[in-house]
Chains A and B, each alone.
Chain A
Amino acid sequence: MQASEKEMPDSLKEGLEATLKLFDGCLENFGVESINPKGRIFDPNLHEAMVMQVDDSKEEGTIIEVIQKGFKLHDRVLRAARVIVSKKS
């Protein structure tokens, strides 16, 4: 989740972020871990490739963008992260 930074009053943003942290912490206690692999190498066991984009500055197969975070419960993937993967031109 990402709040729009311009329009939201700071206090509201802080409150939301704190709530998110609480939520994340609670999930973590139960062994739920988010998968947010930006910059890592694509792995179909954890990630779902939505599309490839040309990016010569990166090694082929690098995750350029995470469209939707994934989640793991201990070692099992609950939802794969949806990502954009780089390719050479």
Chain B
Amino acid sequence: MSRVIGIDLGTTNSCVAIMDGDKSKVIENSEGDRTTPSIVAFTKDGSEVLVGQTAKRQAVTNPENTLFATKRLIGRKFKDETVQKETKTVPFKIVEADNGDAWVEANGKKMAPPEVAARILTKMKQTAEEYLGEKVTEAVITVPAYFNDSQRQATKDAGKIAGLEVKRIINEPTAAALAYGIDKGKGERKVAVYDLGGGTFDISIIEIVDVDGEKQFEVLATNGDTFLGGEDFDNRIINFLIKEFKSESGIDLSADTLAKQRLKDAAEKAKIELSSKQQTEINLPYVTADASGPKHLNISLTRAKLEALVEDLIVRTIEPCKIALKDAGLTTSDIHDVILVGGQTRMPKVQEEVKLYFGKDPKKDVNPDEAVAVGAAIQAGVLSGNVKDVLLLDVTPLSLGIETLGGVMTKLIEKNTTIPTKKEQVFSTAEDNQTAVTIHVLQGERERASDNKSLGRFDLTELPAAPRGMPQIEVAFDIDANGILNVTAKDKATGKEQKIVIKASSGLSDEEIEKMIADAEAHAEEDKKFKELADTKNQGDALVHATEKTLSDLGEKVDQEERAKIETATAELKEALKGDNKDTIDTKVKALSEVSAPLAQRLYEEKAQEAANESNDSDKKEDKDVVDGEFEEVDDTKSADKDA
């Protein structure tokens, strides 16, 4: 049976994990990193799509086509407040799609955020495939607990475009709690999940119940701030350094992009160091120059100073904690465990504030960068039958209802209701002889229908004429385990029924998704070709290099005619390597291999001969063959000379 993988699709970084037997394992990507930056870049010539670290490395050369933090856009309307805020801070273009959704634009091509997310998911999928050595087609993906229907659906679409069947969308805090809770004690526990990541802050209150040896997880309440994270901490340090440097040297670094890049790196490094040390030095030689010569930046930063710089940011996380607790109907004394997620929670001051508020030591025994992916992998294990005894219950983050007389929202499902769930309520007509009713499905907490998010609408028609209030129309809301909503309206008198699946609310129609899947597949073929060509070229380069070296090594021992033949073949291959025709290169590689093979053979024979002579003449030994790290006192200096 094929594996189900767990993916933490984060705002700044993503992470993939699997279950290996009964242990979870985070998989390193092809660059050797356990997390991958959630960045997708389209090169200017349109030839390549870069994902992760490589996209990040080229960001400054190509800012308008380097997409990041698109998770803040997924499943949202262009006019949404969060989207408008993001528009002001990112260098790439955010545009309004025909249906009002927020899309992004790169290389003049408009794209839906799920398409961008799909690129990242594809990379995570490949990472898992390379490790497992088999195709992966199924995944569990995590989303923030406050994600509404359209955001969840859009995330599912992203999975689909990436060629993944999303077996389950689960809430990030639920996943984190799984990562922490799977091996833990008995009885009912209430857990606060404090997640301070690179760009967002989330607090969730979760209940873990032990039912006959089976653990149930339930999200009681969530809150947070989508624009508060580790990067804000870095910016505080950068601003501090700019101010200090200005007062010392009179030079303002804030307009100097190179200096700012270096400051950004240095600030992050200092921040990380100060989680274990009390003081650190930020040292940037040649940071800038003026008429008097180069200027160096050397500022020491203490942990206390850093804490003072970011104190208000940390304090800002406490208010959402209070609201979440209130929503859950709990007080801090009801919380059994507090767990930390997100890299920024490594900061001692953050841990201290969390402890101060909740009155207990937070748990931090799971790597905060990986906890969510590990939890997703555990859930994936449950779904594929590898992990037993865990049952997941999620909740709806917002209330759901319909619009009724006077533009009022009537709630059918209250927020934080455990899903899957089903609620029914009977409504009637507002006027005499009304033959049709409109069911307008809403999501949100506001009383006025127009203040809430509209998920969709449909009409139930051909009602028999009757005085107002007489017809009985039963409206049913049904949310499945993935948080996908089905709304049905039924006229009890005629049995006539109409329904809507809130699915198109991701902003993408099925056809569009199909097209995007096809696009992604087409690109997969393109990407594969590109890689094959690169491999062929490398092979050709290596052969040219080796042949030239052999020729010069053998020197006089090669006769004129043979030498000429090889040199021609080499020149032809070199010419072919300048182009992009894989077949031509292949042919030329073959041609050169054929003429140079006897040569290589001769070289080997010669080497073997030498080696035979060498047993009593160790001075002649080739240093380059020594690769096992044994030091050869006699030859080291010689080797260095030769290599120079």
Contacts and interface: CB of A to CB of B under 8 A. Distances in A.
Contacts of A50: 60, 258, 261-262
Interface in A22-75: 22, 24-25, 28-31, 42, 44-45, 47-52, 61
Nearest to B631: A26
A49 B641 CA distance: 33
A51 B257 contact: yes
B529 to A, nearest CB: 17
Contact of A29 (B55, B627, B637, B641): B627
Contact of B58 (A18, A25, A49, A77): A49
Nearest to A29: B627
A1 B339 CA distance: 45
B54 A45 contact: yes
Contacts of B629: 29-30
B640 A21 contact: yes
Given A29-B626, A29-B629, A76-B32, A47 B57 contact: yes
Given A30-B629, A50-B60, A25 B258 contact: no
Interface in B30-59: 31-32, 41, 50, 54-59
Contact of A80 (B55, B57, B636, B637): B57
Contacts of A49: 57-61
B283 interface: no
Interface string A4-22: 0000000000000010011
Interface SS majority for chain B? helix
Contacts of B107: none
A18 B61 contact: no
Nearest to A23: B640
Contact of B55 (A44, A47, A51): A44
Contacts of A47: 57
B53 to A, nearest CB: 8
A61 B61 CA distance: 8
Interface string B602-644: 0000000000000000000000101101000000110111011
Interface in B184-209: none
A11 B184 CA distance: 65
A13 to B, nearest CB: 15
A56 to B, nearest CB: 16
Contacts of B257: 51
Nearest to B48: A44
Contacts of A25: 636, 639-640, 643
B54 A18 contact: no
Contacts of A77: 31
Q: Which of under 10, 10 to 19, 20 to 34, or 35 or more describes the interface residues of A?
A: 20 to 34
B126 to A, nearest CB: 15
A60 B55 CA distance: 18
Contacts of A84: 258
B644 to A, nearest CB: 6
A44 B627 contact: no
B43 to A, nearest CB: 9
Contacts of B60: 49-52, 85
A50 B260 CA distance: 9
B640 A42 contact: no
B261 A44 contact: no
Interface in B308-331: none
Nearest to A31: B627
Interface in B132-156: none
A19 to B, nearest CB: 9
A30 B637 CA distance: 17
A11 to B, nearest CB: 16
A18 B624 CA distance: 18
A22 B643 CA distance: 9
Contacts of B58: 42, 44, 49
A52 B31 CA distance: 25
Given A25-B640, A30-B627, A51 B258 contact: yes
Contacts of B57: 44, 47-49, 80
A76 B33 CA distance: 12
Interface in B552-590: none
Interface in B257-310: 257-258, 261-262
Contact of A21 (B41, B56, B61, B644): B644
A25 B644 CA distance: 8
A64 B195 CA distance: 41
Interface string B141-184: 00000000000000000000000000000000000000000000
A76 B60 CA distance: 23
A57 to B, nearest CB: 18
Contacts of B261: 50-51
B54 A24 contact: no
A24 B305 CA distance: 40
Contacts of B258: 50-51, 84
A77 B636 CA distance: 26
Nearest to B41: A44
A44 B54 contact: yes
A29 B629 CA distance: 7
A3 B637 CA distance: 21
B636 A22 contact: yes
B42 to A, nearest CB: 12
Contacts of B624: 29
Nearest to A78: B32
Given A44-B55, A76-B31, 13 more contacts: A21-B644, A24-B640, A24-B643, A25-B639, A25-B640, A29-B629, A42-B58, A45-B54, A48-B57, A49-B61, A51-B257, A51-B258, A80-B57
11 contacts: A21-B641, A22-B637, A25-B636, A29-B624, A44-B58, A48-B57, A49-B60, A50-B258, A51-B258, A61-B61, A85-B61
What are the 3 closest A-B residue pairs judged by CB atoms, nearest first? Answer: A44-B58, A51-B258, A48-B57
